[in-house]
């Protein structure tokens, strides 16, 4: 059963962080100036943030979490759970979440672990963290999520190099009697190869040939440690599953688009996201984007869009939100939640 | 659905293609404008206009617009 509610939890705060480094798609040398404009028009991505070689996802998440905890004025010893959702962890082991427990000055009683998910990660993470709080009696949790795709995408892969940006986010979730989040989640591992990095795990270990550049056609050169993105399969998956999961959740809650203040979808690309919006018959003014300035930032894309596009509204009062993450796995998670005057500091840049 | 309409829709889906410049026999993968982005905009058109999805392998198996149209026709009547 992919549909469920998690009771007695609420989102208390949200922060996001991006690297200061910018890359402009209009100035890309991968494509001709005409093709650059065509790509910007289709994908909606004008600029992306690119971290330095030293900046890891955990650095972005740390900065977002530090800012959020200061803004919330939380006692850091009161946090019980820390979950880090990423495909770009610091090390194979240990879990980055454990290192972040120490770095953020949290207590040793914290339950900390990593979750390996990307584009669906924020909403899957909300379900994970919410479920733990709701069932254990623990009270305060941090969900950190994000990725640094600039480190895994081949700079000579024009099918993906201009799409992705680096970003990290932090969400504070607390136990709250009477509050609820409702989810529809799913996975389809038959499509695992649509987004993957072939070498470097234990299935295909890293060898000298992992770094050999291959020309795979259509302007794509990459090695076997780089991200492989099968745009057509991802496109078909997204158009097949995303409207279905959103409709399932809305149907379950008897919600019409009118009953939602803001829809925030994973920021995949403008062509695909707009097709999804039209299939769902959601008016354009209810759907929010940060694609233009940040590109696809994997699991950070939903919170980054909320922080940059909805911050004042989220801080000012009640907001009915429908969030949907979808992608690598392949996997998806959609949630409906209502927030009330959450703490949402401005975007952090490091 | 007619092949004539499909050719016109195909032209409209790819930026930089002149109207009435393509035919059913056009080998679209040899067009200067054909790339992975054009493939996505064609798939988007097929989804919007015909409510059908074409897999990557199906698209790769086609050289002409007519071949793609035949795949769609078979899906529509299935």
Written as tens digits, the pLDDT of chain A (350 aa) is 689 999 999 999 999 999 999 999 999 888 888 889 988 999 999 999 999 999 999 999 999 999 999 999 899 999 999 999 999 999 999 999 999 999 999 999 999 999 999 999 999 999 999 999 999 999 999 999 999 999 999 999 988 999 999 999 999 999 999 999 999 999 999 999 999 999 999 999 999 999 999 998 877 899 999 999 998 999 999 999 999 999 999 999 999 999 999 999 999 999 999 999 999 999 999 999 999 999 999 999 999 999 999 999 999 999 999 999 999 999 999 999 999 999 999 999 99
pLDDT the model gives residue B56: 86
| Residue B36 predicted with pLDDT over 90 | no
Residues belonging to chain B with any Cβ–Cβ distance to chain A shorter than 8 Å? 15-16, 35-37, 39-41, 43-44, 47-48, 53-56, 59
Tell me whether the omega of the peptide bond preceding residue A330 falls within 30 degrees of 0, making it cis: yes
pLDDT the model gives residue A1: 62
Angstrom distances, CA of residue A226 to CA of A128, A195, A196, A229: 29, 11, 8, 10
Q: Specify the 3-state DSSP secondary structure of A45.
A: coil
- CB pairs < 8 Å spanning A and B: 49
Structural tokens at position A141 = 């949790």
Contact B40 A42 (CB under 8 A): yes
Contact A230 B56 (CB under 8 A): yes
Partner residue opposite B36 with nearest CB, options A34, A218, A275: A218
Contact A218 B35 (CB under 8 A): yes
Q: Write out pLDDT tens, residues B45-75.
A: 999 899 999 988 899 899 899 999 999 999 8
Partner residue opposite B53 with nearest CB, options A35, A231, A240: A240
The vertex-A3 CA angle with A253 and A169, nearest 5°, equals: 95
Which residues of chain B neighbour A275 with C-beta distances below 8 Å?
44, 47-48
Q: Note the pTM of the prediction, 2 decimals.
A: 0.94
| Residue whose tokens read 């529809």 | A184
Structural tokens at position B46 = 């097929």
Model confidence at B15, pLDDT cuts 50, 70, 90, reads confident
ipTM: 0.83
Helices B65-77 and B3-13: angle between axes, nearest 10 degrees: 120
Contact A38 B15 (CB under 8 A): yes
Alpha-carbon gap: A328 to the closest alpha carbon of chain B (Å): 17
pLDDT the model gives residue A155: 92
Q: How many Å apart are CA B20 and CA B8, to the nearest integer?
A: 7
The vertex-B73 CA angle with B10 and B64, nearest 5°, equals: 45
Tell whether the torsion through CA atoms of A110, A304, A234 and A198 is positive or negative. Answer: negative
Which residues of chain B neighbour A278 with C-beta distances below 8 Å?
48
Partner residue opposite B43 with nearest CB, options A34, A219, A235: A235
Q: How many Å apart are CA A131 and CA A184, to the nearest integer?
A: 14
Closest CA to A182 of A235, A249, A280: A249
pLDDT the model gives residue A273: 95
Structural tokens at position A84 = 């880090």
Q: How many Å apart are CA B31 and CA A332, to the nearest integer?
A: 36
Q: Specify the 3-state DSSP secondary structure of A24.
A: strand
Residue A264 β-bridge partners: A323
Given a contact cutoff of 8 angstroms between Cβ atoms, the answer to whether A57 and A89 are in contact is yes
pLDDT the model gives residue B1: 82
Identify the closest residue of chain B to A218 by CA–CA distance: B35
Q: Specify the 3-state DSSP secondary structure of A314.
A: helix
Which residues of chain B neighbour A34 with C-beta distances below 8 Å?
16
Question: How many other CB atoms are there within 10 angstroms of residue B25's CB atom?
Answer: 11
């Amino acid at each position: 059963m992919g549909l469920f509610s998690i009771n007695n939890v609420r989102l208390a705060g949200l922060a996001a962080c991006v690297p200061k480094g910018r890359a402009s798609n209009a100035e890309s040398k991968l494509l001709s100036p005409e093709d650059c404009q065509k790509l910007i028009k289709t994908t909606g991505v004008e600029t992306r943030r690119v971290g330095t070689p030293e900046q890891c996802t955990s650095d972005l998440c740390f900065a977002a979490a530090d800012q959020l905890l200061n803004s919330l004025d939380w006692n850091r010893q009161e946090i019980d759970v820390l979950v880090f959702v990423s495909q770009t962890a610091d090390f194979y082991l240990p879990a980055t979440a454990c290192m972040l427990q120490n770095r953020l000055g949290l207590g040793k009683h914290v339950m900390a672990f990593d979750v390996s998910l990307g584009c669906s990660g924020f909403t899957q993470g909300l379900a994970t963290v919410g479920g733990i709080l709701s069932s254990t009696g623990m009270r305060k949790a941090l969900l950190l999520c994000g990725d640094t795709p600039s480190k895994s995408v081949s700079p000579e892969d024009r099918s993906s190099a201009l799409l992705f940006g680096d970003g990290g986010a932090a969400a504070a979730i607390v136990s709250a009697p009477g509050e609820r989040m409702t989810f529809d989640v799913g996975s389809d591992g038959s499509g695992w190869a649509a987004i993957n990095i072939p070498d470097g795990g234990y299935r295909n270990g890293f060898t000298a040939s992992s770094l050999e550049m291959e020309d795979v056609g259509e302007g794509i050169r990459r090695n076997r440690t780089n991200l492989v993105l099968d745009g057509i399969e991802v496109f078909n998956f997204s158009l097949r599953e995303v409207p279905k999961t959103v409709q399932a959740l809305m149907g379950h809650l008897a919600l019409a688009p009118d009953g939602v203040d803001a829809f925030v979808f994973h920021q995949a690309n403008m062509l695909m996201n707009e097709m999804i919006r039209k299939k769902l018959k959601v008016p354009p003014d209810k759907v929010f984007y940060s694609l233009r300035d940040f590109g696809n930032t994997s699991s950070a894309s939903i919170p980054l869009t909320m922080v940059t596009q909805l911050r004042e509204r989220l801080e000012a009062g009640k907001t009915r939100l429908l969030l949907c993450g979808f992608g690598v796995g392949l996997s998806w998670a959609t949630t409906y939640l209502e927030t009330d005057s959450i703490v949402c500091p401005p975007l952090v840049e490091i | 659905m007619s092949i004539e309409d499909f050719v016109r829709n195909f032209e409209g889906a790819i930026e930089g293609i002149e109207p009435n410049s393509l035919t059913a026999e056009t080998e679209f993968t040899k067009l200067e404008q054909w790339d992975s982005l054009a493939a996505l905009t064609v798939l988007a058109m097929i989804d919007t206009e015909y409510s059908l999805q074409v897999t990557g392998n199906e698209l790769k198996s086609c050289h002409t617009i007519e071949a793609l149209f035949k795949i769609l026709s078979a899906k529509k009547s299935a």
